[in-house]
Amino acid sequence: MKKTSLALGLALMVLPRAEAAALRVVATLPELVDIAKRVGGDLVAVDGLARGVEDIHQIVMKPSFVAKLNRADAVVFLGLTAEHTFLPGLLDAAQNPALRVDHNTSACLGPGCIDCSAGVRILDKPQSLSRAQGEVHAQGNPHYNLDPRNGLIIARNIEAGFSRLDPGHAAQYKKNLAAYREELELKIAQWVKKSGPLKGLKAVSYHGDVAYLAAFTGLDFIGTIEPKPGIAPTPAHLAALVGVMKDAGAGLIVREQQYDAKTPAWLAEKTGAKIAVIGTMANSMPDTETFVKFSEKNLINLLEAR
C-alpha cells in the first residue's frame, strides 16, 4: 500500500498537470501578463516572470522560471532585446522545443514565441554598434511599452499568436481583442488631450529609454543622467548636464523608479527642475498592475511634476 501511494505520488509530481485552459502562457513583463489575460480570457493560463519593480535589463534568472518555460505552450515578450539578460538564458535551459533560442541573435525562434514588437515603429536605431557607446540595443530602443498607443500593437500581436497556436478559439481571441482595443483607444484619446501641457517641455531622463514616451507626450528630452546607456554617471558628466539644462531651461527630470533617487535630487537642487518618477513596466509602482493603469500613472506623475 505504501509503495503504491509513493508511486502514485511520484507520478502525480512528474506527469504534466492537466490544465483547464487551452494554452499555458508565460509572459515576461506584468503588462504583457495583463494584456495576454485580456486577449486570452479563460482560454489561457498566464504566468509572469518579472514583478515590475526591477530594472528590465537586470531581471534575475531563477530556476523556477525555467520550470515555467519548460511547460509553456507560448512565451510573450517585449522583444528588441529588452529581455536579453534573462530570456535567452532561460529559454536555453528550459529545453522546450516550442520556445527555441537562436544563440547568435538571442531571438526566440520556436512556434510558441510571441514577439510583441512586430509592427512597432522602432526609435533610436543605432547608426553603429560599439561597446564604446555603452549598452546599446542593436535593434533600436526596446522601451516601446512607454507609448500607450503601442499597447494596441502588443494586443494585436498577442491575439495573432494565440490564434496561430489555438486556431479553434481564434474567433474568441479576436472578440476579446476588439473589446480591449475599444477600451484602450478610449483611454488613449483622453490621455492625448491630457498630455497637451507637456508638449515641448524640456526634460532629462536617467536612462535613454524615454524616446517612445517623448513621442506620445511631446516632451523634449535633451539629455540623460547616464553619460551612455548603462554607464553610471560621472561627476564631469553631471556638471556638464547642469549647464545644458540651465541653458535649455529644462524644468523636468524624469527618474525611472528603479534608479537611485540621490543623483536626480542633486540635479534638481542645482537646476531647480522638478522630478517625475515613472515606471518602465506595469506594477513598478502601487496601483499600476495593468497596462492602462501603468500608462495613466506615468502621465499623471509627469503632469503633476511639471
Partner 1 sequence: MRAALLPLFLVWAPLARAQPSEDRLNALEQRLSSLENARSNNATSAFNPALGAALDIAAVQTDSKATINLRAAELTLQAPIDPYLKGWIVATGSPDTVSLEEAAVRTTALPHSLSLTAGRLFASFGRLARFHDHELPVIERPRSLDTFVGGETQADGVELSYLFPTPFYLSAQAGMFNKIGADNARADNAVERPLDNFTYLGRLTAYADFGDDHSLELGASQAWTPKRIVPDAAGTETTRKNTWRTLAGIDLTYRYQPVAGGLYKGAIWSAEIMQNNERRFDAATLLPRDRVRSYAGVSYLQLKLGRRFSPGVMIDLSEDLDAPKTLTRTYTGFLSFHMSEYQRLRVSASRIDDAAAPGRRGNRLGLQWTAVLGVHTHSFKDR
Which residues of the shown chain bind partner 1 in the complex (CB under 8 A)? 13-17, 51, 53-55, 57-64, 66-67, 70-71, 84-86, 88-90, 92-97, 100, 102-104, 106, 109, 131, 135, 230-232, 258
Q: Measured from the CB of residue 71, what is the shortest distance to partner 1 in angstroms?
A: 6
Q: Least distance (Å) from partner 1 to the CB of residue 63?
A: 4
| Three-class secondary structure assignment of 125-179 | CCCCCCHHHCCCCCCCCCCHHHCCCHHHHHHHHHHHHHHHHCHHHHHHHHHHHHH
Pick 136 or 214: Cβ nearer partner 1: 136
Residue number, 94 or 177, with CB nearest to partner 1: 94
Smallest distance, Å, CB 97 to partner 1? 7
The minimum distance between CB 266 and partner 1, in angstroms, equals: 17
Q: Is 174 exposed, middle or buried (0-12, 13-18, 19+ CB in 10 A)?
A: middle
Say how many C-beta atoms besides its own lie within 10 A of residue 212's C-beta.
Answer: 23
Q: Round to whole Å and give the CA distance between 287 and 83.
A: 24
How far lies 181's CA from each of 64, 119, 143, 165, 250, in Å?
33, 16, 21, 21, 35
Q: Residue 55 or residue 159: which is nearer to partner 1 going by CB?
A: 55
Least distance CB 93 / partner 1 (angstroms): 4
DSSP strands (E only) in the chain: 23-27, 44-48, 74-77, 113-115, 202-205, 220-224, 252-256, 274-278
Q: Which is nearer to partner 1, 9 or 243 (CB)?
A: 9
Q: Which CB, 1 or 20, lies closer to partner 1?
A: 20
